[in-house]
Amino acid sequence: MSMLTPPGMGGKYRITGKGYPRMRRPRRRRRIVVTALAVTTGLGVLSWGTVQLVDVFTGGDTTVRAAAEGRACEPGEAPRGQDAKSAESSAKPTADALPKPSAITVNVYNATTRSGLAKDTADALKKRGFTIGEVANAPASLDKKVKEAGLLMGPPAAHRTGAFDVLHTQLPQARIKEVDRKGGEIDLVIGKAFTGLAKEKDVREAMAALASPSPSPSPSTC
């Protein structure tokens, strides 16, 4: 039988008075709980603020993820163009790097049945500043076999230096063909469709376009 059993029920002791013992949690434990809650709340606010700053400076995590994954743009995402420097890496020589006509030696050959055409064309090119090399009828392998207005033949270096481009402004209808040869001379073979060199006004406009080409649109990625 319990020692606290009320009298009359066999108990040995009885409780008197109005005060009863109350169980209280230790204050130290309450402080630990409050401190933990405060730290958790503070970290949550700090993390939210960091995300907001990242969004401000990167334009949002959606765009950054899309750029890293290289996928197509989603609705509302802004396309990010290709870097300008990489887009220009394969560009042709700039205006300052283009060779002057006097630095380009042109051999003029006549592959038509019209006599004197090679000499007249060579004289016209000389007046426009080009250096003239050999002037003659076309070899048998090309004679009467060039259907276009003309054929420009030269080494691959003529492409890299821009010599092909400069000479091509004089006869835009001509076809360009690279040949394996030493030196930087370019052959102009006059063909059946030849009616004359381009007008000087058109040549100046073409040269201006070479000097400041319009940039090609870069593929956009997000």
What pLDDT score was predicted for residue 20? 52
- Strand pairing report for 186-190 and 105-110: parallel
Question: Does a structural domain hold residue 217?
Answer: no
Encoded tokens for 139 = 């070899």
- How many domains does one find in the chain? 2
User: What is the distance between the alpha carbons of residues 88 and 217, in angstroms, rounded to a whole number?
Assistant: 11
The answer to whether the beta carbons of residues 130 and 102 sit under 8 Å apart is: yes
The answer to whether the beta carbons of residues 152 and 186 sit under 8 Å apart is: yes
128 and 38 together in one domain = no
66 and 106 together in one domain = no
204 and 108 together in one domain = yes
107 and 145 together in one domain = yes
pTM: 0.56
Point out the least confidently predicted range of 15-19, 144-148, 193-197: 15-19
pLDDT tens for each residue of 189-207: 999 999 999 999 999 999 9
pLDDT tens for each residue of 63-108: 434 444 445 555 544 445 444 344 443 455 555 689 999 999 999 9
72 and 133 together in one domain = no
pLDDT tens for each residue of 167-188: 999 999 999 999 999 889 999 9
Q: 193: domain range?
A: 101-211
45 and 105 together in one domain = no
**Segment (H or E) for 177:** strand 175-178
127 and 200 together in one domain = yes
Encoded tokens for 200 = 């000087």
118 and 194 together in one domain = yes
What pLDDT score was predicted for residue 159? 92
37 and 116 together in one domain = no
Q: Is the pLDDT of residue 208 over 90?
A: yes
- The pLDDT of 4-19, averaged and rounded, is 55
pLDDT-based confidence at 19, cuts 50/70/90?
A: low
The answer to whether the beta carbons of residues 133 and 185 sit under 8 Å apart is: yes
